[in-house]
Amino acid sequence: MSEYPHDLAALRAREFPWEARGDAIHFDHASVGPIPQRARDALDAYGLKRAEPHRLGMDDFFPVLDRARTLVGKLVGASAGEVVLTTNTSWGVNLAAYSLPLGPGDIVLGSQGEFPANVYPWMSAAKARGFTYELLPLAGTGPDVAAVLSRIDQDPRVKAVALSWVSFWSGARIDLGAIGAACRARGIWFAVDAIQGLGPLVLDVRTTPVDILSCGAQKWLCSPWGAGFAYMRHGLVAALEPPAAGWLAQASSGDFGRFLDYDPAWHADARKFEVGTIPYQDIVGMNEALALLLELGPSRVEAHVRAITTELLDWAQGAAGVRILTPLAEERRAGIVAFTTPDVDGDSAKLRAAKVTHSVREGAIRLSPHFHNTLQEVEVVIAAIGR
Ligand SMILES: Cc1ncc(COP(=O)(O)O)c(C=O)c1O
């Protein structure tokens, strides 16, 4: 099943030794991703320098962030100048909600079922800026894409669409290409929360029209908390006014000899949205995790995750009393498989007893395997629930 150029057993032994030892089966990337050994090593080395700052050199500051922008750019098909480094998904969502040109009379479309990180910033900005934020009803367990497309088509007041790529509770994936193309054709902004999609799915913003994409790296990108990013389309970087200012957002920030000249000109690239000091150590960890994903190959990772989730869904379809929340069609799902059973709490306890790390969300068992998991681990899950 594995199309990796790497040997999966060797990859697990090297990057996740606790997993190779059998300490746990991590099927919970939708909640928090494990940190690969190479990132842990980099964090340890950086942590030592941080604790004893005389060991820090100039390469430990801005070049760390430059490398991150380049790696993120490679991952999503963007240029480094379109990448804003952030500390979580929420900052990127706020960036969209507070900087896109929206005001009274305008409508931003969202959906019921969204994770609150992609709701509250829009609610708050709607109140502050006077636009209307509307949550469309769900269609099944995901956003009603047909309703979104029809509103885009027929309601000239719609100025932005703000959706998650993949639902955190059902795993339903929306067609970013279809919505993005419809938005682009009508001059409507498309803001995407990508945290549950990027990693198990491949994205190339050169072919998938998205205006602002927000992503924390703590889940499917196997990075420390505090590392994240937003992609902002080139033309928008120049056009938008940052909603918050800070010394590192200014073009003059690189000149440590002239702090007192107070030149308010923004950076010409996406750094203009970065405000102040970024948690370097978390970005060091993210860099190694992203480098690993890029070495494995994002499309091979996608195929690997699909093979594992398909196996889980094949079992769930025949399992007694199991109701699957995740759409079965491959193009409508990503790395999450969610389902209810007649005894969710009991089955969750059985999974815990079998050392399968997972979550229960909105009353359903949520399994979210990734690039380092195996089909043998799926068998452990099936045997544990035993339906
Ligand atoms: C869809 C979605 N967006 C955002 C987040 C988290 O947001 P943040 O990175 O700002 O903590 C989560 C999960 O916690 C999520 O599932």
Mutate to test the pocket of ligand 1, among 84, 193, 213, 223 (most ligand atoms within 8 A of CB): 193
- pLDDT for 83 beyond 90: yes
Residue 87 beta carbon below 6 angstroms from any ligand 1 atom: no
Q: How confident is the model at residue 5 (pLDDT cuts 50, 70, 90)?
A: low
Question: In b/e form, how buried is each residue of 36-58, taking b as 16+ CB within 10 angstroms?
Answer: bbbbbebbeebeebeeeeeeeee
- Average pLDDT for 102-123: 98
Mean predicted confidence (pLDDT) in 270-276: 96
Q: Is residue 59's pLDDT more than 90?
A: yes
Residues in Cβ contact with 295 at an 8 Å cutoff, skipping those fewer than 6 apart:
6
pLDDT tens, residue by residue, 205-254: 999 999 999 999 999 999 999 999 999 999 999 999 999 999 999 999 88
Mean pLDDT within 153-161: 98
CA 199 to ligand 1 center in whole angstroms? 14
- Regarding the beta carbon of 115 and ligand 1, being less than 6 Å apart is answered yes
- Cα–Cα distances (Å) from 58 to 49, 63, 65, 66, 352, in that order, read 12, 8, 12, 12, 46
Residue 359 Cβ inside 6 Å of ligand 1? The answer reads no
| Of residues 273, 288, 279, the one with CA closest to residue 240 | 273
Largest CA distance in the chain: 71
User: Is the CB of residue 113 less than 8 Å from the CB of residue 142?
Assistant: yes
Mean pLDDT in residue range 261-278? 95
Q: Is the pLDDT of residue 111 over 70?
A: yes
pLDDT band of residue 354 (cuts 50, 70, 90) is: very high
Q: What is the pLDDT of residue 319?
A: 96
Name 73's Cβ contacts closer than 8 Å, sequence gap at least 6: 79, 80, 82, 83
Nearest CA to ligand 1 atom 14: 31
Q: Is residue 168 in contact with ligand 1, taking CB distance under 6 Å? A: yes
Q: What is the pLDDT of residue 257?
A: 87
One-letter amino acid of 373:
N
What is the rounded end-to-end Cα distance, in angstroms, of the chain? 25
What average pLDDT does range 96-125 have in this prediction?
98
CA–centroid distance, residue 386 to ligand 1 (Å): 31
Q: What is the mean pLDDT of residues 44-63?
A: 97
Q: Determine if ligand 1 sits within 6 Å of the CB of residue 165.
A: no
Is the minimum distance from the CB of 164 to ligand 1 under 6 angstroms?
yes
Q: Residue 33 Cα, ligand 1 centroid: separation in angstroms?
A: 13
Residue 6 has pLDDT above 80, yes or no: no
195: Cβ below 6 Å to ligand 1? Answer: yes
Q: What is the number of the ligand 1 atom nearest to the C-alpha of 90? A: 10
Q: How many A from CA of 118 to the centre of ligand 1?
A: 8
C-alpha 88 – ligand 1 centre gap (Å): 8
pTM over 0.95: yes
pLDDT score recorded for residue 254: 82
Atom of ligand 1 nearest to the CA of 88: 9
| φ, ψ (nearest 5 deg) of residue 338 | -120, 140
- pLDDT grade for 387, boundaries at 50, 70 and 90: confident
Pairing of strands 189-193, 212-216: parallel
Q: Is the CB of 90 under 6 A from ligand 1?
A: yes
Q: Is the CB of 86 under 6 A from ligand 1?
A: no
d(CA 236, CA 356): 43
- The closest of 358, 361, 339, 338 to 348, measured between CA atoms, is 358
The number of CA neighbours under 13 Å toward the Cβ of 254 is 11
Ligand 1 pocket test: which of 168, 198, 221, 361 has the largest number of ligand atoms within 8 Å of its C-beta?
168
User: Mind listing the domains of the chain with CATH numbers?
Assistant: 8-31+298-385 (3.90.1150.10), 53-294 (3.40.640.10)
CA of 129 to the centre of ligand 1 (A): 24
Quote the pLDDT of residue 256: 87
Which ligand 1 atom is nearest residue 114's CA? Answer: 1
pLDDT above 90 as % of the chain? 96
Report which DSSP code applies to 362: T
HSE-CB at 269 with a 13 A cutoff on CA atoms is 13
Strands (DSSP E) found in the chain:
25-26, 83-86, 107-111, 132-136, 138-139, 142-143, 158-164, 189-193, 212-216, 228-232, 323-324, 337-340, 356-357, 359-361, 364-367
Q: Which helix or strand (DSSP H or E) is residue 352 part of?
A: helix 344-353
> What's the pLDDT at 251?
92
pLDDT score of 3 more than 80: no
